[in-house]
Structure 1
């Protein structure tokens, strides 16, 4: 910094202002200082800046199952929102969902100096973990019960929209292919489907369970296709719904003439399924943005713990029709 100040003919304080993006430096002086910085290869010392400001401008994200559609879309939104706010993102994958793995992830992030953490571990193991005191935390997914803010899709609303749509088309009841029992989101969707049927006085069939993959949807679809009385299926995500559609076609059940199918997510490919899939749209960009906004409010002590539920929308396509 002293070298930059000497060559630019300014004080060290002016160099500091330019390096920290302060606005109280005139344009010509700022340009001269920046030219010297480039000439000397000067880069501000982030650690020293953090010691002065008490802020590292970095957030940690603890995540499991990086390959799932919702996780990748939410991570992309978090990274975009954090960058726009001048923060870097330190990603910490958890390879096995266990209490100790989550505690270890927090420990490693603490060593790497982050200002706060977004938790994206969508499994019931979180209920067993005591999160650290003093570190701002936001939990993405609705099932956890912590003294921390929670941001998620309104899973209950989405499953209700899907189930009510099928009932309003004249189907006597709706079968359900659920996600894994360990999943908060899958549990919320299954409970809402079940409650909607009960509220309408309809029979509640036994749910079938998959693992979010199209292969597990195909296996469940083969079981459902064998029963001619089944005319409506709500599937907990679009990838499993793709497998269900494949199974129904394979077994000679026409969609939507014989069976109506609704998915959940509205992944980009859903409109290209055959037939195009009616589904519940989650707005992952909103989830990521609201997660970052909520965490920064916690970091700066301006937040509160009210949960954030991002609304869903039912997207109507050709995989559902009135019962004939």
Structure 2
């Protein structure tokens, strides 16, 4: 009977430590530690070397050991709107990445924003866990009311824009005039806005900013239609009209709505941009590949998420670090906007 030696089973790779990361990046372990805590005063080149070393070594912070040593949790509970919507999804991605880099884990809880009872039940469940803090990424009035009525036992940040808080005003609303400026420069004088759902503060501010921008140019609004951020709602809003309004420029509340608007206009025999121009807000990844490619307002969703979670971590750790401002939205011109047709 042949004797076969037992197969050699390789030993499990030892997890990388911050000392391994420091050696690979050519920096001190204190620099790696400051990077993981979200410290901003690190030179860009040093930051890039640390990021590359963390990625190459697959470094993962030992949160269990840190929690036992420090006597506190390193888990953050994050509540958000269902992440099928592009904006909330990308904000959550940015928050999760920033939390991980700072040595925390982000537990994401997706809520049904139309069901107040469901929101309250999710909050009750969340606050029973051992958390370092709670990040409430609020999108709707229902979410904000539920969050504000909850007594959290740990630091909590409700990241929601407020009509009375200039620092948290929807950035798209602040810069929506750039879309109107662009279209007015192309000779457009009659506009339509396809808004988001009224329960979303961002939708209300964008509709208000649209009205103000049109009025400031002495232009004419031919109406505001209502959607729900989806391409289907943009399509339905146009197809429900008995007659298309006498407008040459359509401003959609987001890119997905704009996609539906453009399809509906095409189905009704209107050419974009030859007869009407259509623009959106967000600059989602597919916007450059719409037919025609979409002119839109680019938003820094990931930076919004990062800024929110780092603000919460500062509160958890008792710091007040100065951080760079979020980059402002900017206009991205593509082929869905063109000169207004001759009268």
TM-score, normalised relative to structure 2: 0.73
Cα displacement string for residues 111-140 of structure 1 (whole angstroms, at most 9, x for unaligned residues): 211111221231112443324255322233
State whether structure 2 residue 179 is matched by structure 1 residue 177.
no
Instruction: Pick from 195, 204, 216 the counterpart of residue 199 of structure 1.
Output: 216
The alpha carbon displacement at 1:163 in A equals 2.1
State whether structure 2 residue 130 is matched by structure 1 residue 138.
no
Cα displacement string for residues 59-115 of structure 1 (whole angstroms, at most 9, x for unaligned residues): 111112221111222222221111111111112222354444434333322221111
The alpha carbon displacement at 1:151 in A equals 5.5
Matched residues in 1 for 2:18 and 2:245: separation? 70
Q: Following TM superposition, where does structure 1 have runs of at least 4 consecutive aligned residues deviating by more than 4 angstroms? A: 149-153
User: What residue in structure 2 maps to residue 38 of structure 1?
Assistant: none
User: What residue in structure 2 maps to residue 221 of structure 1?
Assistant: 238
Instruction: Point out where structure 2 has 5 or more consecutive residues left out of the alignment.
Output: 1-14, 24-60
User: What residue in structure 2 maps to residue 159 of structure 1?
Assistant: 176
Matched residues in 1 for 2:180 and 2:316: separation? 39
The 3-state SS of whatever aligns with 1:220 is helix
Instruction: Point out where structure 1 has 5 or more consecutive residues left out of the alignment.
Output: 1-18, 28-42
In structure 2, the CA distance between the partners of 1:254 and 1:225, relative to structure 1 (3 Å rule), is farther
Instruction: Pick from 84, 87, 94 the counterpart of residue 70 of structure 1.
Output: 87
Matched residues in 2 for 1:136 and 1:200: separation? 45
In structure 2, the CA distance between the partners of 1:144 and 1:121, relative to structure 1 (3 Å rule), is farther
TM-score, normalised relative to structure 1: 0.77
Matched residues in 1 for 2:173 and 2:326: separation? 10
Report how many residues are paired: 284
User: What residue in structure 2 maps to residue 247 of structure 1?
Assistant: 264
